[in-house]
Amino acid sequence: MARAISFFSCGAYPLEDIHDPTGAGDTFAGGMAGYLAGTVKKVHFNDLRKAMIYGSVLASFCVEAFSLERLRNLSMEEIAKRYETFKLMSQFEMSRGMTDARESEVSQIAARDE
C-alpha cells in the first residue's frame, strides 16, 4: 500500500533585532518536542505542522537576548500571542472581502506582541 508523502515548510518568526542566535535550534527542537509530548497521543501530520510553528515561536524568543535570559521570563501568554501572530502572518489564501480585515487583525496582534 502506497502512502502519500506530505510536505510542510515554515520559516522563522520575523524579528527586527536578534541579539544571540546561540541555542535557537535547540529551542526550536525543544518547543516542537514539548508541544508533541504535552498535547498529542498519536502524532499526525497536522500535529507536526503545529509543533513546528511552536518550535519557531520559541526559538524567536530565544534569540531576543543573550543565553537563556529571555526564556527565563517568558510567559504562556506571550507564547500564545506570538503563535497567533505567526499563524496569521503565515496564512496566504484569503477571500477578497477578508483581506483588509485580516491585515488589520495581524497589525493589532503584532502591536500587542511588542
Same domain, 62 and 26: yes
The pTM assigned to this predicted structure is: 0.75
Q: What is the pLDDT of residues 56-93, one digit of tens each?
A: 999 999 999 998 899 999 999 999 999 999 988 886 55
Q: Which amino acid is at 10?
A: C
Same domain, 68 and 102: no
Taking residue 77's Cβ as centre, other Cβ atoms within 10 Å add up to 8
The whole-number average pLDDT for the span 36-61 is 93
Same domain, 28 and 38: yes
Q: Which residues have C-beta within 8 Å of that of residue 112, sequence separation ≥ 6?
A: 81
The helix, strand and coil proportions of the chain, stated in percent and rounded to the nearest 5, come to 60, 0, 40
Q: Residue 40: CA atoms inside 13 Å, Cβ hemisphere, count?
A: 16
Same domain, 58 and 99: no
Same domain, 30 and 62: yes
The C-alpha cell at 80 is 500564545
Q: Which residues have C-beta within 8 Å of that of residue 64, sequence separation ≥ 6?
A: 15, 17, 18, 19, 70
Taking residue 52's Cβ as centre, other Cβ atoms within 10 Å add up to 17
Rounded Cα gap, residues 108 and 85, in angstroms: 9
